[in-house]
Amino acid sequence: MLIFDKKKLRQRSKEWTGTLEELEVLVDKMGETMEENKGVGIAAIQVGEPYRVFLVGEGDRCELFINPRQVSLSPYKKKHWEACLSCKNTNVRTSRSHSITLTYDTIKEGLPVVVKRTFKGFEAVKVQHELDHINGFLIMDRGKAYYGKGSN
């Protein structure tokens, strides 16, 4: 179930320190919620769990980010239209860096691994959007918001 409470969504998330079994339950909940709402990314805080965990992607091409840390951010920025599962009928004109490099933990073949990766273009936008969620920011904090009928 998606969380729409702005006070809760603005909490800074805590480092993930749980077990693999607990992580699997959380990730299943996040993945189901993202799929039900046709999203391309979701943070744990959006399902009521204030942990530094998020998913980006679609279907079986979804990537898990655990305790991500920003390594570098391109000074070159580009404007984008963004929407958010937790901000219904709201579109925001944001300015995001063209690329971002992160280190993060993930799970590969049932084992935890550390990844360092650079994301560019729309992938970089999605990653920065989800990083904002785990740091307590919403898309309205990143640009001019346009609210449609039924926005929350």
> What residue ranges do the domains of the chain occupy?
6-147
pTM for the structure as a whole: 0.94
pLDDT one digit per residue (tens) for the chain, 152 residues: 777 888 999 999 999 999 999 999 999 999 999 999 999 999 999 999 999 999 999 877 899 999 999 999 999 999 999 999 999 889 999 999 999 999 999 999 999 999 999 999 999 999 999 999 999 999 999 998 888 876 66
Q: Which of 49, 82, 123, 130 is catalytic?
A: 130
CA dihedral (127, 128, 129, 130) positive or negative? positive
Residue 66 is encoded by which pair of tokens?
């655990």
Count Cβ neighbours within 10 Å for each residue of 33-71 and write b for 16 or more, e otherwise: bbeeeebbbbbbbbbebbbbbbbbbeeeebbbbbbbeee
**Could you give the CA distance from residue 127 to residue 146 in angstroms, rounded to a whole number?**
22
143-147, strands of its sheet edge to edge: 77-84, 87-97, 143-147
Residue 10 is encoded by which pair of tokens?
């603005």
Would you state the pLDDT for residue 3? 76
130 annotated active-site: yes
**Region 6-147: CATH code:** 3.90.45.10
Give residues with Cβ within 8 angstroms of 98, minimum separation 6: 74, 76, 77, 78, 120, 121, 124
Would you state the pLDDT for residue 5? 86
Would you state the pLDDT for residue 152? 63
- Give me the residue label for tokens 């039900």: 36
